[in-house]
Amino acid sequence: MIRDLINSIDNLKVVEKANKKFEITKILAENDGAPTYIKDVNGYEVIGNLCNREIIAKSLGIEVSDLVEYMINALDNEKNGELIVDNELKKEYVSDEVSKISQYPIPTYYEKDAGAYLTSGIVIVKDKDHGINSSIHRILVKDGKLIIRMVEQRHLHYIYNKNIKDGEVDVAIVIGVHPALLLASSTSGDVTFNELKYASALMGAPLKLIKCDTVDLEVPAGEFIIEGKITNKMEEEGPFVDITGTYDTIRQQPVIEITALKRKKEPIFHALLPGGIEHKILMGLPQEPRMYKGIRNTVPSVKQVSLTEGGCCWLHAVVSIEKKTEGDGKNAILAALASHPSLKHVVIVDDDINIHNPSDVEFAIATRVQADKDVVIISDTKGSSLDPSGDHKNKLTAKMGIDATISLRKGNKEEYIRAEIPDIK
């Protein structure tokens, strides 16, 4: 599946060989946002920068401009996604000794990293009450075992705490999957939300699974499959670079004991660059449908929503609306901040502005904003722990909204409209 997608990419960057310590980082950073294929890393093929908006849209057979609406429709049909266990797929795999994980092309990305990290694996667990959960977490590879970063507010942490009283939790980590699975595993729902069914809805086709050998799980047929047990043992995890490109702190996190390794006969390893565009897109893009729906409840004429790359696809957003009344811009600001609590700054623009073009957005701010009337500042509100400028002790930040829509009060909209060159017949 991954190989077919790679073969379909136009202008794929190709590199002959790289070392897994720092050199993969250098190559992916130099080509950030552009899919990059490395033919040989310790004898394995590696793909990086795989998921940008264009590649995700292409993998789903749609246009980039239709992504948010498409995801909303798939979310509405999540329960209708179809999962099929097909153990014939096992014939495509070979088993490795557990110790061989040290030979896999798992990168050490940055100088101060605690070691080699898995960054693109979808982590699958099962709860007897709520079913399957699939999510993405950074995982340190250390001394033949894994140490997984669990964010306290995420469902994996909830399922782990609920089930660890039995001594351990079955887990599988699948590396090298279709972008729909990465997108689905990055999506927040309630604890009953089935990310694998959502991936099926996104793909518009049944999702084929295989049964694991040493744990009670069925998982998508990725390029690499790591089976294991999340234990109640804790070890230091970190430091490691987060989405802002700055280092996160060291914490005590759960240890995963590996019970089995499987891989395709000629696998392609997916290296996801921490702080790169792919990382940002996979964090931010799944939030956009939720924001769109939240804003639409207040401003029905919302057109598009984008969490911007410059804002780490997490802290900054641009929203376009078809303005109907003078208060729509400020209402959209409040709705955007409410629908994505980590959001720090948001700009609301008219629908003639391309929200994916920073120059276009800046033009709207420059020509349609009066700071004393159109800027909203909210002090001491809950913010993102990823913002290094925030008050982390009290978990507070300041937030700002800019209403860069054309004022309806003056009644001279034509003054704001940019000149166009007519078609020449």
Residues tagged active-site: 242
Torsions phi, psi of 6, nearest 5?
-60, -45
User: Counting beta carbons within 10 angstroms of the beta carbon of residue 79, is it exposed (0 to 12), middle (13 to 18) or buried (19 or more)?
Assistant: exposed
| CA distances to 4, 203, 305 from 65, in Å | 24, 17, 10
Helix (H/G/I), strand (E/B), else coil: 77: coil
Strand partners for 317 = 307, 346
Decide the pairing of beta strands 247-248 and 240-241.
antiparallel
Decide the pairing of beta strands 268-271 and 44-48.
parallel
Torsions phi, psi of 44, nearest 5?
-115, 155
Residue by residue, DSSP assigns 301-336 as TEEEEEE-TTTTTTTEEEEEE---STTHHHHHHHHH
